[in-house]
Amino acid sequence: MAIYDLYQMQKKLEKYLDENRFLHTLGVMYTCAALAMVHDCDLMDAQVAGLLHDSAKCIPNKKKLSMCAKHGILITEFEREHPFLIHAKLGAYIAKEKYGIQNPEILSAITWHTTGKPKMSKLEKIVYVADYIEPQRDKAPHLDSIRRLAFQDLDECIHEILKDTLAYLDGGPGDIDNATREAYSYYHEIHQNRKQEEENEYRKRNG
């Protein structure tokens, strides 16, 4: 297990984020730690991924695009049109190059923390969920129930987050990244299969 100096990382990161973003980042790190304890995930990896997940967030969009071009970071046409999304991929690059993070699981969790994707690893799920539920978040619907669910069942929690996210973003087909749609389809299928299994079990017991 790699050992990281979280204090030094925080001091360095604070220089590149505005106050609100840094407070959000600390909230995500602490929430990742709590979720990791409950769901049997490496505690240090979860804290590092949570701390660095938004390391590129405060970079201006034009600079995000130029940095991706300079460093060979592939972006989709949708990301080019919605450059605020690029901070996830660029954040993984910064975590590796500026903070010395070599663990591909941490880097992947940073990469996918905004859109999600099908078949997320446990660490990817934890960072995705923590970003949504950390204590300073107060705008999303159903936060109380989603926060409780996060400590009970990550897959069901992700399903509910993605469902609410799509409902919020569904102003038009061009407003939602394909990765988010694919993630919802995947976790919705898991949700539906579980419901069917529960119904079958209920019929067996009461048939």
Q: Looking at the domain assignment, is residue 2 inside a domain?
A: no
Query: What distance in Å separates the CA atoms of residue 96 and residue 59, rounded to the nearest whole number?
Result: 17
- What would the pLDDT profile of 126-138 be if each residue is shown by its tens digit? 999 999 999 999 9
Looking at the predicted structure, is the pLDDT value of residue 175 above 80?
no
Give residues with Cβ within 8 angstroms of 190, minimum separation 6.
155, 159
Q: Looking at the domain assignment, is residue 20 inside a domain?
A: yes
Query: What distance in Å separates the CA atoms of residue 81 and residue 121, rounded to the nearest whole number?
Result: 28
- What would the pLDDT profile of 1-38 be if each residue is shown by its tens digit? 678 999 999 999 999 999 999 999 999 999 999 999 99
CB 121 within 8 A of CB 105: yes
What is the pLDDT at residue 125? 98
The whole model's pTM is what? 0.94
What is the pLDDT at residue 112? 98
Other CB atoms closer than 10 Å to residue 117's CB: what's the count? 18
Mean pLDDT value across the chain: 94
CB 32 within 8 A of CB 50: yes
Domain count, the chain: 1
Task: Report the CATH number that the domain containing residue 78 is assigned in CATH.
Answer: 1.10.3210.10
44: confidence class by pLDDT, cuts 50, 70, 90: very high
What is the pLDDT at residue 174? 53
What is the average per-residue pLDDT within 162-166? 94
52: nearest Cα among 2, 134, 113: 113
Residue pointed to by tokens 């080019």: 80
39: confidence class by pLDDT, cuts 50, 70, 90: very high
Query: What distance in Å separates the CA atoms of residue 126 and residue 34, rounded to the nearest whole number?
Result: 10
Q: Looking at the domain assignment, is residue 68 inside a domain?
A: yes
168: confidence class by pLDDT, cuts 50, 70, 90: confident
Residue pointed to by tokens 């790699």: 2
What is the pLDDT at residue 172? 54
What is the pLDDT at residue 89? 97
Q: Which domain holds residue 167?
A: 7-206
Looking at the predicted structure, is the pLDDT value of residue 151 above 70?
yes
Query: What distance in Å separates the CA atoms of residue 46 and residue 55, rounded to the nearest whole number?
Result: 15
Q: What share of the chain in percent tops pLDDT 90?
A: 86
Q: What is the DSSP string of 65-97?
A: HHHHHHHT----HHHHHSGGGHHHHHHHHHHHH
Q: Looking at the domain assignment, is residue 27 inside a domain?
A: yes
CB 28 within 8 A of CB 126: no
Query: What distance in Å separates the CA atoms of residue 79 and residue 69, rounded to the nearest whole number?
Result: 13
Q: Looking at the domain assignment, is residue 1 inside a domain?
A: no
Q: Looking at the domain assignment, is residue 200 inside a domain?
A: yes
- C-alpha count within 13 angstroms, C-beta hemisphere, residue 105: 17
Give residues with Cβ within 8 angstroms of 108, minimum separation 6.
92, 121, 123, 124
| Least confidently predicted of 59-63, 94-98, 186-190, 192-196 | 192-196
Q: Looking at the domain assignment, is residue 99 inside a domain?
A: yes
Query: Token pair of 8, please?
Result: 């030094």
What is the pLDDT at residue 199? 84
- What would the pLDDT profile of 176-207 be if each residue is shown by its tens digit? 899 999 999 999 999 999 989 888 887 888 86
